[in-house]
A = this chain, B = another copy of it.
Amino acid sequence: MALAKESTPVSARNGEDQEAEYRAQTRVWLRLLACTTLIEGELRRRFRDEFDFTMPRFDVLAQLDREPSGLVLGELPKRLMVSAGNLTPIVDRLVADGYITRTPSNLDRRVQIVCMTVEGRKTFRRMAKSHGAWLAELLADFPADRFDGLIGELDELKGAVREALQKP
């Protein structure tokens, strides 16, 4: 068994071993990126064609759908893993379109509370239904009995990356 090799720290390996190791990890990354790009592109296209909507807008609504009492604005960039500045114009437009409201907090005037409107909730539910169906269609040819396994692997991968990001 080659367990010794697997547990050798990168810094102690020679050039060839490193190259081989890098290739395996690069393959994972390229596949991951390809799958995401493929699905994301198709979802974006359909959101645009069917609803004249974008995915980032949908993502904001999806967060607010689970929060009937609204959300502190600063929660959104954390949950969506995007920068705060990015969200400003997206929220602006959702407010202008009447899908959400943005009200300053009385306790802390730096803070704003965003909340979905009735109209927003109705629109979101309609789009979410299609979104689910689109995903089902795109993933239909992947064996259903292996979904849970894949989800587990991806959860672990995500955990491992988060771990690595916290170290330094």
* A interface, CB within 8 angstroms of B: 6, 10, 18-19, 21-29, 31-42, 81, 131-133, 135-151, 153-165
Contact = CB atoms under 8 A, between A and B. Distances in A.
Given A81-B37, A154-B31, A161 B138 contact: yes
Contacts of A138: 160-161, 164-165
Given A38-B81, A39-B161, A141-B163, A22 B135 contact: yes
B38 A145 contact: no
A25 B161 contact: no
Copies assembled: 2
6 contacts: A18-B132, A25-B132, A29-B135, A32-B32, A141-B160, A153-B153
Contacts of A149: 153
B81 A139 contact: no
Contacts of A32: 32, 35-36, 39, 154
A38 B153 contact: no
B155 A31 contact: yes
B150 A28 contact: yes
Contact of A150 (B26, B133, B141, B153): B153
Given A32-B35, A33-B36, A81-B37, A139 B165 contact: no
A136 to B, nearest CB: 5
A3 B10 CA distance: 45
A157 B141 CA distance: 8
A138 B88 CA distance: 30
